[in-house]
Amino acid sequence: MKEIVAWLFGLGLLGNALLFVPQLVAVLRKRSAEGVSLITFGGFSLLQALGILHGTLQHDRSLIFGMSASLAACGTLTVVAGYYRLKPSRTSGKQ
């Protein structure tokens, strides 16, 4: 039973990772980070990294795998949103 719960937990974390994908797609399509909180997604990324560390110390493969997938998705979103937030607008110098 313990292994089944661990497996389901890992699947749940994989589902968590997939929840970041629509936001990432929206940012890439709009080429804008408008409405995206870098503090929120950066905080999520830090917590996921901490979850990976905890999973490593506890030898919990489900936690390691799930948090790694979430960090990959959320981290990518954070980096892409940061890029668009810091990128100078093409219209900023034109009148």
Residue range 37-90, pLDDT digits in tens: 999 999 999 999 999 999 999 999 889 999 999 999 999 999 999 999 998 766
pLDDT of residue 11: 87
pLDDT of residue 93: 52
pLDDT of residue 94: 52
Nearest to 78 by CA among 22, 20, 25, 38: 38
Cα–Cα distance for residue pair 89/83, rounded to 1 Å: 11
With contact defined as beta carbons under 8 Å apart, do 27 and 73 qualify?
A: no
Residue 25's pLDDT band (cuts 50, 70, 90)? very high
pLDDT of residue 91: 59
> Looking at the domain covering 2-86, what would its CATH class be?
mainly alpha
Boundaries of every domain in the chain: 2-86
For residue 95, pLDDT over 50 is answered with no
